[in-house]
A and B are shown apart, each in its own frame.
Chain A
Amino acid sequence: MAANDIIRIHRVNFYYGAVRALTDISMQFEKNKVTALIGPSGCGKSTLLRLLNRMNDLIDGTRVEGEILFEGRNIYAPQVDPVEIRRKIGMVFQKPNPFPKTIYNNITYGPRLNGVSAADLPGLVEQSLRQAVLWDEVKDILDKSAMNLSGGQQQRLCIARALAMKPDVLLMDEPTSALDPISTAKIEELVEELKRHYTIIIVTHNMQQAARISDQTAFFYLGNLIEYNKTEKIFTKPDVKQTEDYITGRFG
């Protein structure tokens, strides 16, 4: 366990009602690194990701066992406010989901409700859009509805919206699965850039994507963490046969 782990998961089980979706997961995420979560559909990648910012709280009848420490603090302790956790751990979803508001108001929505002063908002909008490499495309149409943007632009807007909260960690759930190859490439470049300031945990279906952009890769199967190691090692000589079968496309 390195000292610069920002999140540590310790012996976590997770249940949807009576159905166990994650079994005895223990792993840690390193600060300012990109960690990819891979595995066949339904193996629990999204579930794990949504555990990290307590989004699974929204689903009735779910239950967590074990501990998830964010900067040393158990985010599932009773006195912890999930709203505060979500300020520090942002999320980008599989399908771009901008609000039906202007581009400008999409970015300022979170900061404004979290007490950022009005004078700071224009600067924050520009900074966030620049970080998401969207500024040049939208700087003249900030007052237009975000719904008019293309899918790839919408997804980068959602990234900018998350960045505007200045989170420590950015969770991304298959952020490019609904996008065309060019938009996908843009977002991959963006991830490279963002890891200088943020810790990124990304779920992906795409093996090449995991290999290209991540430092660490975790392979899940049926709710179990099968193998977790440096990406290079996972993709060249994995220790477990199942991992090898999956990345070489023999199943999944």
Chain B
Amino acid sequence: MKTSEAAGVRLMRRRYLKQTIFFTLVRASALLIVLALGGVLFHIFYHGISAISWEFITRPPTDSMTKGGILPAILGTIYLTVGAIAVGLPLGIASAIYLTEYAKQGRVIRLIKVGINCLAGVPSVVFGLFGLGFFVIFLGFGSSILSGSLTLGFLILPTIIGAAEEALKGVPQTFREASLSLGVSKWQTIYRIVLPNALPGILTGSILGIGRAAGETAPIMFTAAAYFTAKLPGSIFDEVMALPYHIYVLATAGTHIEATRPIQFGTVLVLVAVVLGIDLVAIVIRGYMRRNKRW
């Protein structure tokens, strides 16, 4: 009796020790991630802040893009990102609704899901070439906001489908049953009950897509981005400058690569700010939708 009690205590102690070690490791890795993120942000901020001025964000570039501002690129990136969401979100939600609510689960659906996952892993330059071949040339949209938004929309589609599928599956089956049992049709059940309850989750997942759409260079290089244009876009058929491509150009293709370092970092800083700004809008919308949506 006594020996077994002592053994029990030893076991508890060993467990406690294991737990402590494990928690410490987990905490350390979490801290590492935060430090890495902080380091990157600090680096960008430290080198870029000197370039930021009112003129920088409200004027077009001048003197072969070594002076002046980046307004056309800021607007271009906002247009392209919003355009990508406008393409990707409805398509992604519709696909996810089909996959989770309508399709009979089986081999074909599994295959489609594998396909979507593969699509997520396709290098973005491939999307860029597809956009060039299909939207720019075949459909004749030219290098434009429209072509760029469509290309980026397809790029973020797998992310949004994935997020939407998870969010739809997260809506309790009991809500669907309750609605259907009241003689409400399947489509109305999805539209009135399932979708509103899934939207906050869909937005959360889509925020990842927003960052990707705003930050990618390769997909817009052939489909939307102009090397330089002081003119602000007048329609969706216009070419635009875009922040990531502008950074790429300044850092690799200009004749004053060293001289424009501060502008490069300033542009990166603005890009980060724009992405965070769009995320913030999404988060606010989500918060608004979440009120009253607890279960």
Contacts and interface: CB of A to CB of B under 8 A. Distances in A.
Contacts of A101: 292
B295 A165 contact: no
A246 interface: no
Contacts, number: 71
B188 A113 contact: yes
Interface stretch (A24-32, A87-95, A192-200, A206-214): A87-95
Contact of A91 (B104, B181, B188, B292): B181
A84 to B, nearest CB: 7
Contact of A97 (B177, B185, B292): B177
B181 A90 contact: yes
Given A83-B185, A113-B188, A100 B179 contact: no
Contact of B295 (A55, A90, A147, A162): A147
B179 A109 contact: yes
Nearest to B197: A100
A158 B181 CA distance: 11
Contacts of B2: none
B179 A60 contact: no
Size bin of chain B's contact surface: 20 to 34
A53 interface: yes
Interface in A104-155: 109-110, 113-114, 145, 147
B104 A86 contact: no
Given A99-B193, A101-B292, A86 B181 contact: yes
A161 B183 CA distance: 12
Given A84-B183, A110-B183, A93 B292 contact: no
Interface string B277-295: 0000000000000001111
Contacts of B197: 100
A114 B185 CA distance: 10
A33 B58 CA distance: 77
What band does the interface of chain A fall in when counting residues whose beta carbon is under 8 Å from B? Answer: 20 to 34
A160 to B, nearest CB: 12
B16 interface: no
Contacts of A90: 181-182
A55 B183 contact: no
Contacts of A18: none
A63 to B, nearest CB: 14
Nearest to B188: A113
A114 B172 CA distance: 23
A53 B172 CA distance: 20
Nearest to B189: A113
A233 B105 CA distance: 47
B177 A58 contact: yes
B174 A165 contact: no
B293 A87 contact: no
A93 B178 contact: yes
A83 B183 contact: yes
Contacts of A100: 197, 292-295
13 contacts: A55-B181, A60-B105, A83-B184, A86-B181, A90-B181, A93-B174, A97-B178, A99-B178, A100-B293, A101-B292, A109-B182, A113-B182, A165-B183
The 6 nearest A-B residue pairs measured at CB: A87-B183, A110-B182, A97-B174, A91-B181, A86-B183, A97-B178
Given A55-B180, A101-B292, 11 more contacts: A58-B177, A83-B185, A87-B182, A88-B183, A97-B177, A98-B178, A100-B292, A109-B184, A110-B182, A147-B295, A162-B181
